Amino acid sequence: MEIVVAATYEDMARKVAELVEAWVVADPSCTLGLATGSTMIGVYGALVADYRAGKLSFADVDTYNLDEYCGLTADDPQSYRYFMKTNLFDHIDIDPARTHLPDGASSDAEASCIAYEAAIEEHGGIDLQLLGIGHNGHIGFNEPDSFFPNGTHTVELTDSTRQANSRLFNSIDEVPTHACTMGIGTIMRARSVVLAASGADKAAIIKAALTGPVTPEVPASILQFHPHVTVVVDEAAASELA
Ligand code: GLP
């Protein structure tokens, strides 16, 4: 595991974007696993800036997002599909048909999760998976549990996750109670992983995930067993690392 400490949020975002660009330039038809959240807004901003500067093309790239809320349609402004469109997809030359997220609006969420996992496998897997991290160590929406879930599945969100994500909704009552997420197995099968975090509020969980015991109670700790992980943190998020 390589740990890169960036000075600021902007610097972290740029370094993560450069790792993505290295993949896309080396293999223009690569498959990216994408994430949402505040950490990724700067990353996508840097990718859009570099696309506009002519540094790379996404025309042959396929993407699979980590997760999606259950019960929100793709055009709901709180959906992760909407987040991806407004922060990245609408501003680059990616083919919308090659961008994939779990179908949160499906009436049979579990069946659509199984189909999503099969689609990733059939496609040949993910080359580079981007990850943020929740305050409780979740990656995607894999919450602390007694086991590491394998494939894409539905989850009930913890109160702390709903609370943390409620800042983007009018009230906590509007935050969906369930989500579809890639499993820990899906994430671990990616050929390469980049985990990004910023801010002092992530320092304790970064320390636990990177240096503590590997346990499903801290889902991100499993990354200690992945052969190709780069962690990019700003100084505040790195402040509890020795
Ligand atoms: C959400 C997403 C995660 C993301 C996490 C951190 O819960 N499901 O994929 O990593 O939040 O988000 P942020 O970057 O806003 O701290």
By alpha-carbon position, which residue is closest to atom 9 of ligand 1?
140
Is the model's pLDDT at 74 over the cut of 90?
Answer: no
Nearest CA to ligand 1 atom 10: 132
Q: How many CA atoms lie within 13 A of 188 on its CB side?
A: 16
The span from the CA of 213 to the CA of 203, in Å, is 16
CA of 23 to the centre of ligand 1 (A): 23
Q: Which residue is closest in CA terms to ligand 1's atom 4?
A: 132
- Provide the β-strand partners of residue 34: 65
Helical pair 38-52 and 9-26, crossing angle rounded to 10 deg: 50
Catalytic, 138? Answer yes
pLDDT band at 120 (very low <50, low <70, confident <90, very high): very high
Query: Would you state the pLDDT for residue 127?
Result: 98
The answer to whether the beta carbons of residues 219 and 132 sit under 8 Å apart is no
- 27 CA → ligand 1 middle, Å: 27
Does 136 qualify as catalytic in the annotation?
yes
Q: What pTM was computed for the model?
A: 0.96
pLDDT at 168: 87
Asked if 93 contacts 59 with a C-beta cutoff of 8 angstroms, the reply is yes
Instruction: Look at 85-94, 162-171, 178-187, 215-224 and tell me which has the smallest mean pLDDT.
Output: 162-171
- Across 83-106, average pLDDT: 97
Q: Is 91 tagged catalytic?
A: no
Average pLDDT of the segment spanning 22-26? 97
For residues 45 and 81, give the distance between their C-alpha atoms in angstroms, rounded to a whole number. 17
